[in-house]
Structures are given as structure tokens and as C-alpha cells.
């Protein structure tokens, strides 16, 4: 892990500023957004769709996903923020967030944007699907570098041991204990989804199919990987499910509903 990219000493400007830390998390997150957008733009061009729409939509996706992930973080850790309401102000500056909260926000905002512009929602969400999977695959390395989203205890040969005290102080990473490398698990799963979607979209011509498969696959992989997580994500139903698992179920079910509707529609035609 490598939570700090570098530090800038600005104490010569003001002692109150001191050292400014540039986190590795932010750099990798930016790379993940950029990589996802490049793939999205490729499929938009391939389907003869407007590049301007791609740029506009990408802007709304970035903003809405960041806001959604931060709000979800507050929701998941609501007990802490009820006791420390002033800490909500620092959520914006704190790196990290809940990915699926960001994903849901981005989907809702994207659909509203496309509907307002009277653009083909299913076709464009298909174009975005491989990029979303690739972005998640890259983005999980940001979590690994920061020490967040860590796994539970593991005695497997590929277990990892965190040693950075800065990570322990900022995100509560357990040190000196072998843990499941859950960010790597999800990175691999998301990359496999990305590869599958690329292959699938070479032959599939039905709008909405790729997007529905993305929702199902991402919901299933996250639901499974949650069992290996060790950080506090908040639980519901007397500890039966984590909040992230509940959201993952909703996402997967939404994908199934869309897929069934598309299959029925294609049969009728």
C-alpha cells in the first residue's frame, strides 16, 4: 500500500496550512474515470452517437457519482455522524466513499439527462457499461493503496498484511494482520465483467442487454465479496446483510427485470 503520493510543505506560506498531502487514492480514481470515459467514447463513436453528448454525460456522471458516494458514506456510518455531526463537513475532503451509492446516483442522473435530451437511453447506457466495469476495476487499486475497503482475517497464501500507520490513522486499517485482499478480488471480478461485455457487444445488437448484464454481474460479485470484507459498512436485518449487500441485491434485481423486459419485447417483435 502507498496512501501518500507525496507531500508539499506550505508552512512557509502559513503555519496553519502546514503540509498538504497528495493521496495516491485521488490519482488512481482520476485514472479510473479517464479510462472509463475513453471506453465510453469509443462505443459512442462506434454507434454513431454524438461525442458532445458523451462529454456532457461524463461531466454529470463524475459529479453525481462523487456526491452519491459521499452521501452513501454518511448513510452507512450514520451512527458515527449522529454522534459527531461536525465531521460531516470533512466528508468532502476525505478520500473514499461507497461505490454503489455513487453508481446509483450516476445511473439516476444519467437517465434523467438522457430522457430530458430525448436520447436513446438503452443504447447509450450500453455504451457506458464496459467503461463502468473497467473504471471499477482500476478504482479498486485506489482502495488498496489507501488501505480502505479491507478484508477480514485470512490464512490463505495470498492474504495481505497492511503496515502503513498513516492508513491506520486515517481509515482504520488493521496493521500486522493477514487479511483478504478484497479490493483485488473486486478489481479482478470487474475486469472479467469488462472483458465479457466487450466480447458480448461484438455480436449483440439489442439495446439494453449489455447494461442489464452489467447490473446483474456487478450486483452478484459485490454481494459475494462483501462476505470477505472486514471494515464497517453498516448492517441491516439484525446483521444479516450489509447495506452494500442490500444495494447489490437491488442492482442485480433491477438488471434481471430489465433483461426479462427486453427478452419479452424482442420476442414480440
CA dist 171 and 149 (Å) reads: 9
Are 113 and 57 spatial neighbours (Cβ–Cβ below 8 Å)? yes
> How far are the Cα atoms of 182, 215, 221, 223 from residue 251, in angstroms, in the given order?
20, 6, 11, 10
* pLDDT > 80? residue 16: no
pLDDT band at 15 (very low <50, low <70, confident <90, very high): low
Average pLDDT over the chain reads 87
The torsion of the CA quartet 243, 247, 249, 251, rounded to 10 degrees, works out to -170
Collapsed DSSP state (helix, strand, coil) of residue 77: coil
> How far are the Cα atoms of 67, 75, 100, 164, 199 from residue 72, in angstroms, in the given order?
9, 5, 8, 26, 33
Neighbours of 163 (CB within 10 A): 12
Query: What is residue 187's predicted lDDT score, i.e. its pLDDT?
Result: 97
Q: How far is CA 147 from the centre of its chain?
A: 16
The torsion of the CA quartet 48, 53, 58, 60, rounded to 10 degrees, works out to -150
CA dist 137 and 131 (Å) reads: 10
Neighbours of 239 (CB within 10 A): 7
pLDDT band at 10 (very low <50, low <70, confident <90, very high): low
Q: What is the pLDDT of residues 122-164, one digit of tens each?
A: 999 999 999 999 999 999 999 999 888 899 999 999 999 999 8
CA dist 251 and 110 (Å) reads: 16
Q: What is the pLDDT of residues 208-220, one digit of tens each?
A: 999 999 999 999 9
Q: What are phi and psi of 238, to 5 degrees?
A: 55, 40
E strand map for the chain: 4-9, 19-23, 160-161, 178-179, 235-236, 241-242
Are 149 and 140 spatial neighbours (Cβ–Cβ below 8 Å)? yes
8-state DSSP, 20: E
CA dist 69 and 90 (Å) reads: 14
Query: What is residue 237's predicted lDDT score, i.e. its pLDDT?
Result: 75
Neighbours of 138 (CB within 10 A): 20
Are 251 and 215 spatial neighbours (Cβ–Cβ below 8 Å)? yes
More confident residue, 11 or 45: 45
CA nearest to 244, candidates 110, 139, 125, 97: 97
Amino acid at each position: 500500500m502507498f496512501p501518500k503520493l507525496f507531500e508539499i510543505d506550505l508552512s512557509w506560506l502559513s503555519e496553519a496550512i502546514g503540509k498538504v498531502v497528495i493521496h495516491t487514492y485521488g490519482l488512481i480514481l482520476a485514472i479510473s474515470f479517464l479510462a472509463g470515459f475513453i471506453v465510453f467514447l469509443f462505443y459512442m463513436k462506434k454507434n454513431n452517437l454524438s461525442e458532445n453528448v458523451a462529454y456532457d454525460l461524463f461531466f454529470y456522471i463524475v459529479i453525481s457519482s462523487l456526491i452519491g458516494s459521499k452521501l452513501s458514506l454518511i448513510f452507512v456510518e450514520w451512527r458515527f455522524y449522529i454522534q459527531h455531526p461536525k465531521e460531516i463537513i470533512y466528508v468532502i475532503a476525505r478520500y473514499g466513499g461507497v461505490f454503489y451509492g455513487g453508481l446509483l446516483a450516476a445511473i439516476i442522473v444519467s437517465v434523467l439527462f438522457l430522457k430530458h435530451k430525448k436520447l436513446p437511453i438503452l443504447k447509450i447506457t450500453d455504451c457506458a457499461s464496459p467503461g463502468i466495469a473497467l473504471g471499477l476495476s482500476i478504482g479498486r487499486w485506489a482502495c488498496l493503496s489507501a488501505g480502505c475497503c479491507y478484508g477480514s482475517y485470512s490464512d490463505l497464501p495470498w492474504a495481505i498484511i497492511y503496515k502503513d500507520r498513516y492508513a491506520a490513522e486515517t481509515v482504520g486499517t488493521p496493521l500486522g494482520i493477514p487479511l483478504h485482499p478484497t479490493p483485488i478480488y473486486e478489481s479482478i471480478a470487474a475486469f472479467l465483467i469488462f472483458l465479457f461485455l466487450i466480447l458480448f457487444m461484438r455480436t449483440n445488437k439489442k439495446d439494453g442487454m449489455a447494461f442489464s448484464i452489467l447490473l446483474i454481474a456487478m450486483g452478484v460479485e459485490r454481494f459475494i465479496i462483501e462476505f470477505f470484507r472486514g471494515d464497517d459498512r453498516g448492517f441491516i436485518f439484525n446483521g444479516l446483510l450489509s447495506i452494500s449487500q442490500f444495494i447489490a441485491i437491488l442492482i442485480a434485481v433491477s438488471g434481471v427485470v430489465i433483461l426479462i423486459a427486453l427478452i419479452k419485447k424482442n420476442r414480440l417483435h
